[in-house]
Every structure is written in C-alpha cells, then in structure tokens.
Amino acid sequence: MSLVTELVLNADSEARYPAPKELRIFQDFLKTGDQRIRIAGTLADNEQRIIQNGFAKFWERCPVTPSNSGNPRKTASCQRDVGWYIRLIAYSILAGSEQPLVEIGTLGIKEMYNSLEIPLKNIVECMRCIKEETLSLLSPEDATEVAPYFDLIIRSLS
C-alpha cells in the first residue's frame, strides 16, 4: 500500500479529512518523488549488473552454495529470486512504504528457503552482497533511502 493510500484510508476510516500532520506527510512524499523515481529507475536499469556483480562477490565469500553448484537451473532460480527482491524494493521506494516488500516478499521467507533446503545464512550473505553492489551505484543520499529495505529482508531471514 502506498503512503498516499494509507493516509487516505486512515482518514476515511474515521470519516474525516486528512489532518494537517497527514497533509505535511503527503507534501513531503511529493517533494521526494523525483528521488524515488530516480532510484527505481537506477534499480531497473542496473538489475542484471547488480545481480551479476553481487553474486560474484557472494561466490567469492561462499564458493560452495546451491546457487554455485554447477547446476545452471539452480543458479538461474537464485538469480531470479534476487531480481524479484530488487524489483520489490523499487516498488516500495515508489510507494514510499515498506508494505509491498513486507506483504509480497518477506512473509514466510524463512519457511520458503528452509523448505527448499537453502541455508538461510547463505541467503543473508547473498542479500548483503546485493545490497553492497546496489548501494555502490547510488549517491549517498539515495543509498540512505535504499539500505533500510535490504536490511528488512536481511532481518526477515535472520
């Protein structure tokens, strides 16, 4: 749910107009629109680079993993999943809310990887590598906006 939707639904649930504080939150959201669009564009334009470089870094740190087993299907599946998380982070940034990431990407995440017999410590380390690669492409200000979303994924896996 976007920040705007959340503000409107909160006011509507109480049959009132948005309060001045809520309007300021909305105003601040609009002021950061260019930044959010820029970040989402950077993530979209660099997804493959982020995945390739992030995985290369991960395999240096953890050379024996299911994603680096020599099975191209497993490698592709793991890289697809990481691309999915990058996309969810972009959605969350555009929405101004971590809710898309939480609702679509982190509910049941530990259980899913456990059922696939993928060590959680490997997924956590992989996400750290992907985070490092992503942040290296962004300005310090943009990196500050993106980092908490990766941290949310990492916390959900820990």
Domains detected in the chain: 1-31 (no CATH), 33-157 (1.10.490.20)
pLDDT of residue 1: 66
Average pLDDT for residues 111-139, to the nearest whole number?
90
pTM of the predicted protein model: 0.88
User: What does the alpha-carbon distance between residue 116 and residue 132 come to, in Å, rounded to a whole number?
Assistant: 25
Residue 116 tokens read as 């696939």
**pLDDT tens readout for residues 99-108:** 889 888 887 8
* CA distances to 9, 59, 101, 110, 128 from 52, in Å: 40, 11, 22, 24, 14
**pLDDT tens readout for residues 7-36:** 899 999 999 999 999 999 999 999 999 999
Q: How many CA atoms lie within 13 A of 144 on its CB side?
A: 4
